[in-house]
A and B are shown apart, each in its own frame.
Chain A
Amino acid sequence: MKSTIKQLAKFSFLAGVVFTSFSCSDNDNDDPTPVAESDKVFALGVGVTTSTATTNYVVQTSNLMSGTISLTGNGLLQEGYRDYAFGGGNFYSIGGLGITDVNTISLNSSNQLTTKTGLTFEQANNDFIDPTGAGTTMVGVSMPASPTAGLNANFYTVDIASNSITNRANVPMNNIHPSNRDWLFHTGMQVRSNQLFQTFYPVNYTTYATANTDTCYVAIYSYPGFGLQKVIKDTRTGPAGAFNNRSGIFKTENGDLYTVSNSSYSNGYSQSTKPAGILRIAAGSTEFDQNYFFNTDTAPNGGKIAHAIYIGNNKLFAAITTVAPTLADRWSDKNLRLAIVDLSAKTITPVANAPQFTGNGGRSFAALLDEGKVYTAISTNGVVNIYQTDVATATATKGAVIEGSFLGGIARLK
């Protein structure tokens, strides 16, 4: 009897030990590598797909050209799916679980990434840009994905210094593109003095069929009031941009606007009825320039421009198809190569030493112009590498390995 009680006492003690021994503290945190005063600092939004889910991280590096950019014990986890934007020294990570959250990421005094939280958007964000590059105001747009999600396009400005919304306006979707068949998806926007220009493409919001591929549309709004002024159309090419992409419209230093249309099966169009091409809205004008059309299908080294960024001097850094997409390629975003497109000379120069690749479907054509070089990422054989393109020579150099599945965004913070 006595011994049993003793045994019992021993056991309960042991049980207690078992329970409490799991209460040890977490092993925090090896200090991150210091950054020298002369170093540049880049912020990268990296997505990782594992066997269970895709997670996103923002990681910093001073070296894009060698070694491995690793996420193991490194980088800031970003909840949910993310899009990235840059303005005023901040790398914005937009997305989240359930609500649209904005993580405003910048460098602290020791040049390490630090996050300011608190800002949220009413609806899922489609685009968030610093329209002038001045770093004072960001402009954002949220377009509901279907009439069940909302009937208004929602524009807003965010004051960078106070990290808060200063102005917002609703524009009925049906005023932008009156149709009982089509819905419209945002593909890009630019602000030129007191006007905002937005490209979009009409699409059936449930089937994603595109019945309307004969016209390029640009909606023009007042800025910063976001009042709809008019929608201009041109039938020389199809709609500018494509599903989930922000490569529909670009602004040059002198105020010319260029719209880039591909109506490519590879980027989700269910039919393709017009050649791929580029139109111009000349500086000061709010109409398409009838004297300018750049047919990229028939140009030497041409094809359909799937994704692009503006890199100055009337040039685009682009991902362009190498073979004409067929119906079987629908949504594939494949057979792409890097190219430099000269908008005024109407030439396309392929980038040498860069492999042919497959895009990420539009949203994340992460590319950064820095000191005459463009940095982007290409995945070959399941390995993601940085590629540095020298704009002057149109030649690429393979850089660092990104330990992740895709690059969602890139910016230079220092």
Chain B
Amino acid sequence: MRLRSSLNFLQLTSPLYKGLFAFFFFFLTDSLAGYAQNTGTVSGKVTDTGSRAIEFANVFIKGTEAAVQTNADGFFSLAAQEGDYDLVISFVGYSSKTSRIRITAGRTTNLGTIALSGSLNVDEVLVTGKTQNTAIKEEGFNVTVLDTKKLYSTSADLNQALNRTTGIRIREEGGVGSNFSFSLNGFSGKQVKFFLDGIPMDNFGSSLTLNNLPVTMAERVEVYKGVLPIHLGADALGGAVNIVTRANPNFLDVSYGVGSFNTHKASVNGAFTNLKSGLTFRANAFYNYSDNNYKVDVQPINFTTGQREAMKEVERFHDAYKSGTLQLEGGVTGKKYADLFLVGLIASGNDKEIQTGVIMDQVFGARTTRSSSVIPTVKYRKANLFVQGLDLSLYSAYNMTQNQFVDTTRLQYNWNQETRETSTAEFNRTQLKNRDKEGLVTANLSYALFPSQSLSFNYVLSDFGRKSSDVEDPQNVTFRYPQALNKQVMGLAWQLNKNRFNATAFSKLYLLNASSFEQISDGTGEPNFQPSQTKTNNIGYGTALAGFILPQLQVKASYEHTYRLPEAIELLGDGLFVRRNSALKPEKSDNVNVGAAYSFKPHADHQFALEANYIYRNSDDYIRLDQRQAQPVDRQYINMGNVVTNGVEGDFRYSWKNRLQMGLNLTYQSILDKEEFLTSTNLTGTTVYKNLGYGYRIPNMPYLFGNAEVGYSFTDLGAKDNVLTLNYNLNYVEEYFFTWEHLGRNNQDMIPRQVAHNVMVNYALQNGKYGLSLECRNLTDNKLFDNFKLQKPGRSFFLRARYFFNN
């Protein structure tokens, strides 16, 4: 029903879309000229000697421009003019293979399966060579690919893993399961979008966030900075994170760990594929628990005098967290009608005690929150659908999430764990329930027009609705008027691969349809409401270029004009406290990335890699709640703010004989407020006033941070194929201010400099089949703060055992 209405909407905006196609037509006509008719196609599948498909293997026909990479199932397809050629297949860590082939006009020659013999154990050892992830990096996008395989032996969650990469800073409020904010080049909140295998997961509930997901769940994590390929269809202003789950056909990975603060983490990942019948089952299960009873320095408030007592160290006493997730998938792979067809279910939940408010002065002893999600999924993928070169992938999910917040205890706590009675609740009596339902569809269609060119189309639909209720506050009218938001993003991209040079140009269409309610003043003592609705459309565009100037020197550049669409509440208000703003525009940004990557090997044993990126962001029309209003109602989301970011990121890696690994990265970003005058329009009219922040660094945003790491592996220690690895990692964030640094004398509202030293020793037996690791985080027990006056855990230890089986 709702889908139909969005289709009608699409028709309404079709003139826009025609323009979009015209834009691409321009690209195509140019290339058509050199295209001859007498071509044929060659196809095949690349595997390793164990019959496992190799993704991203490079396949090219010598003497032509035809080159391609294999897909996730190892398949490739190439077209060239009729004739005899050498077909070259290569993949890092494997020997390359050359085959003599004949291409016949109008025909597809299937070469069957081509096996490459491997030389490296890509799964386990720290790898500095070119891996699958490098293939993604070779596109023109500014993308950081986190090879999670390197971290499988650690207990890290995805947040901790991502926090070690350039441009990203994850700010945690406390220990395991604590709230966090993800900031990417100065963008945060809804400006950065998250995907699980290409499915938007922004509304998946708090048990399916990056701080719950173990690294062992992911094959890799792709972080796209500022410019997004169309296959991640989203209104992301500042980039996106895509978690790609493991796709090995047959494996089992089991781990269990225990650590400080009564922390337990268990995970089971596995897949079973019958290569003959194509029957496939995949399972992911994990469980996290922690008491988070680490020590913090506080001034308890004396209940008798209302005075703060002297600073002392206390243990957190109401901060336990547990979360569990089960993801099951079953279906077939490698069939005529489907390369992959999987039906799955994600069931997930968490339970969290709330220890503090926005700062540690506000302490709770009974408030809790919980979340549960049930998400059925369907994944379908087929290469060469109906015609050669036409690939389709279709992922869909239906997300049912319930979040609950409970505060019903008539007691107030202080840090001494003393209590006093209250009349209703600890802070505000509530049993708020938010029930979210969200339909999600992601479709990608790509067509290889010519050997070196392809065209792809992406469609993402998200249809979100929320119903809230609170038995403690049944009168609250906002619960009676639900909100809904229907978002569609369509992208069209043209891609060119030629002689180690690739280019893509794309355009995206953003459609939004929001519905809500608004209050009407009628001069009586009773409120009245009427439904309200709004539709918007916007067009974004961009390009990404990459090429090798020298065999080891790659340069890349990308640009996107992108949007972050408003939420229903921002656009239409909540019918009560927040008034609709029909003139509200989406947040927009022009993002530019320029980067270079250079690797060299002065000696067989020494390998160096350097990468540097410059980023520029010019973001406008930030959506913010108008702060000037002193009234409880008549608040309004307005477009306010122009922020210009200039940033540099550097990454250096060195390895010696695959034994010593060193890495260093540093991010500096100048994020300046460039809004000279602030305009506030409300019932009192329009006011324009000077912005005292103009020209200064945006507060409460990390601007200088870096990581350093050193690792050494003792191979064949104790026995053959046993490896002992020592790792040291340093995490550094320069101090930054919570409020404007230049206002006030000696501004003390700052988040102090953080330096955390982490060490780990890992002993892997029998090529990684068994593993035992011991980690120590924050070795020197430094006081760490990511947020204003919210102390993070001190020194902690974690011991973990792992069993890994890969067939």
Query: Are B478 and A404 in contact, with the CB atoms below 8 A?
Result: no
8 Å CB contact of A98 from B357, B521, B526, B749: B357
Within 8 A of B (CB), among A388-414: 403-406
Contact partners of A150 in chain B: CB under 8 A: 422-424
Contact partners of B721 in chain A: CB under 8 A: none
Min CB–CB distance A219 → chain B (angstroms): 18
8 Å CB contact of A149 from B306, B424, B603, B690: B424
Contact partners of B716 in chain A: CB under 8 A: none
Query: Are B525 and A99 in contact, with the CB atoms below 8 A?
Result: no
Of B15-23, B229-237, B358-366, B489-497, the one contacting chain A is: B358-366
Closest to A156 in B: B306
Task: Indicate whether B7 reaches chain A with its CB closer than 8 angstroms.
Answer: no
8 Å CB contact of A72 from B429, B666, B742: B742
Task: Indicate whether A11 reaches chain B with its CB closer than 8 angstroms.
Answer: yes
Q: Interface code A1-36, partner B: CB below 8 Å = 1, 0 otherwise? A: 101100010011001001100110000110010000
Of B137-145, B192-200, B692-700, the one contacting chain A is: B692-700
8 Å CB contact of B424 from A15, A147, A208, A328: A147
Task: Indicate whether A353 reaches chain B with its CB closer than 8 angstroms.
Answer: no
8 Å CB contact of A97 from B359, B682, B747: B359
How distant is the Cα of A53 from the Cα of B693 in the complex, in angstroms?
10
Of A86-94, A277-285, A341-349, A361-369, the one contacting chain B is: A361-369
Query: Are A4 and B732 in contact, with the CB atoms below 8 A?
Result: no
Query: Are A165 and B633 in contact, with the CB atoms below 8 A?
Result: no
Min CB–CB distance B243 → chain A (angstroms): 30
Query: Are B301 and A99 in contact, with the CB atoms below 8 A?
Result: yes
Query: Are B749 and A151 in contact, with the CB atoms below 8 A?
Result: no
Min CB–CB distance B433 → chain A (angstroms): 15
Task: Indicate whether B630 reaches chain A with its CB closer than 8 angstroms.
Answer: yes
Query: Are A72 and B743 in contact, with the CB atoms below 8 A?
Result: yes
Q: A120-B306, A165-B306 are in contact. Are A19 and B525 (CB under 8 A)?
A: no
Query: Are B652 and A270 in contact, with the CB atoms below 8 A?
Result: no
Of B35-43, B61-69, B468-476, B504-512, the one contacting chain A is: B468-476
Task: Indicate whether A237 reaches chain B with its CB closer than 8 angstroms.
Answer: no
Query: Are A270 and B684 in contact, with the CB atoms below 8 A?
Result: no
Closest to A158 in B: B306
Query: Are B472 and A55 in contact, with the CB atoms below 8 A?
Result: no
Contact partners of A95 in chain B: CB under 8 A: none
How distant is the Cα of A206 from the Cα of B479 in the complex, in angstroms?
11
How distant is the Cα of A165 from the Cα of B304 in the complex, in angstroms?
8
8 Å CB contact of B361 from A97, A122, A330: A97
Of B379-387, B395-403, B621-629, the one contacting chain A is: B621-629
Q: A51-B641, A77-B747, A363-B630 are in contact. Are A4 and B606 (CB under 8 A)?
A: yes
Interface centre among A54, A98, A164, A170 (most CB of B within 10 A): A98
Within 8 A of B (CB), among A322-344: 327-334
Query: Are B743 and A52 in contact, with the CB atoms below 8 A?
Result: no
Query: Are A271 and B740 in contact, with the CB atoms below 8 A?
Result: no
Instruction: Please classify how large the interface on chain B is, using the bins under 10, 10 to 19, 20 to 34, 35 or more.
Output: 35 or more
Query: Are A268 and B631 in contact, with the CB atoms below 8 A?
Result: yes
Task: Indicate whether B428 reaches chain A with its CB closer than 8 angstroms.
Answer: yes
Q: A29-B745, A53-B739, A206-B476 are in contact. Are A148 and B631 (CB under 8 A)?
A: no
Query: Are A334 and B684 in contact, with the CB atoms below 8 A?
Result: yes
Query: Are B478 and A57 in contact, with the CB atoms below 8 A?
Result: no
Q: A73-B742, A382-B690 are in contact. Are A51 and B603 (CB under 8 A)?
A: no
Q: A53-B627, A150-B424 are in contact. Are A75 and B745 (CB under 8 A)?
A: yes
Query: Are A50 and B423 in contact, with the CB atoms below 8 A?
Result: no
Query: Are A331 and B683 in contact, with the CB atoms below 8 A?
Result: yes
Query: Are A52 and B301 in contact, with the CB atoms below 8 A?
Result: no
How distant is the Cα of A358 from the Cα of B628 in the complex, in angstroms?
12
How distant is the Cα of A204 from the Cα of B475 in the complex, in angstroms?
10
How distant is the Cα of A382 from the Cα of B664 in the complex, in angstroms?
48
Task: Indicate whether A197 reaches chain B with its CB closer than 8 angstroms.
Answer: no
Task: Indicate whether B29 reaches chain A with its CB closer than 8 angstroms.
Answer: no
Q: Interface code A59-92, partner B: CB below 8 Å = 1, 0 otherwise? A: 0000000000001111111010000000000000
How distant is the Cα of A29 from the Cα of B747 in the complex, in angstroms?
10
Interface centre among B526, B632, B675 (most CB of A within 10 A): B632
Interface class of chain B by DSSP: loop
Contact partners of B743 in chain A: CB under 8 A: 48, 55, 57, 71-72, 75, 77
8 Å CB contact of B631 from A117, A170, A361: A361
How distant is the Cα of A32 from the Cα of B685 in the complex, in angstroms?
39
Contact partners of A403 in chain B: CB under 8 A: 692
8 Å CB contact of A405 from B362, B628, B740: B628
Query: Are B622 and A51 in contact, with the CB atoms below 8 A?
Result: yes
Closest to B701 in A: A52
8 Å CB contact of B428 from A77, A120, A149: A149
Task: Indicate whether A169 reaches chain B with its CB closer than 8 angstroms.
Answer: no
Min CB–CB distance A365 → chain B (angstroms): 11
How distant is the Cα of A358 from the Cα of B425 in the complex, in angstroms?
38
Query: Are B424 and A151 in contact, with the CB atoms below 8 A?
Result: yes
8 Å CB contact of A331 from B524, B527, B631, B652: B631
Query: Are A148 and B525 in contact, with the CB atoms below 8 A?
Result: no
Task: Indicate whether B82 reaches chain A with its CB closer than 8 angstroms.
Answer: no
Q: A49-B628, A99-B362, A361-B629 are in contact. Are A330 and B306 (CB under 8 A)?
A: no
How distant is the Cα of A97 from the Cα of B605 in the complex, in angstroms?
56
Query: Are B652 and A212 in contact, with the CB atoms below 8 A?
Result: no
Contact partners of B682 in chain A: CB under 8 A: 332
How distant is the Cα of A51 from the Cα of B622 in the complex, in angstroms?
9
Contact partners of B675 in chain A: CB under 8 A: 51
Task: Indicate whether B708 reaches chain A with its CB closer than 8 angstroms.
Answer: yes
Within 8 A of B (CB), among A375-392: 379, 381-383
Task: Indicate whether B719 reaches chain A with its CB closer than 8 angstroms.
Answer: no
Query: Are A4 and B602 in contact, with the CB atoms below 8 A?
Result: yes
Query: Are A54 and B627 in contact, with the CB atoms below 8 A?
Result: yes
Contact partners of B739 in chain A: CB under 8 A: 53, 55, 77
Task: Indicate whether B634 reaches chain A with its CB closer than 8 angstroms.
Answer: yes
How distant is the Cα of A205 from the Cα of B334 in the complex, in angstroms?
62
Q: A57-B743, A206-B477 are in contact. Are A329 and B683 (CB under 8 A)?
A: yes
Contact partners of A12 in chain B: CB under 8 A: 662
Task: Indicate whether A264 reaches chain B with its CB closer than 8 angstroms.
Answer: no
Contact partners of B740 in chain A: CB under 8 A: 48, 50, 55
Contact partners of B603 in chain A: CB under 8 A: 1, 4
How distant is the Cα of A206 from the Cα of B577 in the complex, in angstroms?
9
Query: Are B749 and A77 in contact, with the CB atoms below 8 A?
Result: yes
Task: Indicate whether A121 reaches chain B with its CB closer than 8 angstroms.
Answer: yes
How distant is the Cα of A358 from the Cα of B633 in the complex, in angstroms?
17
Within 8 A of A (CB), among B493-534: 519, 521-527
8 Å CB contact of A148 from B430, B523, B576, B747: B430
How distant is the Cα of A98 from the Cα of B678 in the complex, in angstroms?
28
Query: Are A332 and B683 in contact, with the CB atoms below 8 A?
Result: yes
Within 8 A of A (CB), among B279-331: 301, 305-308
8 Å CB contact of B521 from A18, A243, A327: A327
Min CB–CB distance A284 → chain B (angstroms): 35
Task: Indicate whether B806 reaches chain A with its CB closer than 8 angstroms.
Answer: no
Task: Indicate whether B640 reaches chain A with its CB closer than 8 angstroms.
Answer: yes
Task: Indicate whether B746 reaches chain A with its CB closer than 8 angstroms.
Answer: yes
Task: Indicate whether B134 reaches chain A with its CB closer than 8 angstroms.
Answer: no
Query: Are A331 and B634 in contact, with the CB atoms below 8 A?
Result: yes
Closest 9 CB pairs of A and B: A361-B630, A211-B525, A98-B362, A382-B689, A98-B357, A50-B693, A151-B423, A332-B683, A51-B641
**Pairs A–B under 8 Å by Cβ, sample size 10:** A15-B708, A55-B739, A75-B745, A118-B308, A271-B524, A330-B683, A361-B629, A361-B630, A381-B688, A382-B687
Residues in B lying within 8 Å of A, measured CB to CB:
301, 305-308, 356-359, 361-362, 412, 422-425, 427-430, 472-473, 475-478, 519, 521-527, 576, 602-603, 605-606, 622, 624, 627-634, 640-643, 652, 654, 662, 664, 666, 673, 675, 677-678, 682-685, 687-693, 698-700, 704, 706, 708, 732, 734, 739-740, 742-749, 753, 788-789
Q: A150-B424, A331-B631 are in contact. List 11 more A-B contacts (CB 8 A).
A: A49-B628, A50-B692, A57-B744, A96-B361, A98-B358, A122-B306, A144-B424, A146-B473, A149-B428, A204-B527, A268-B633
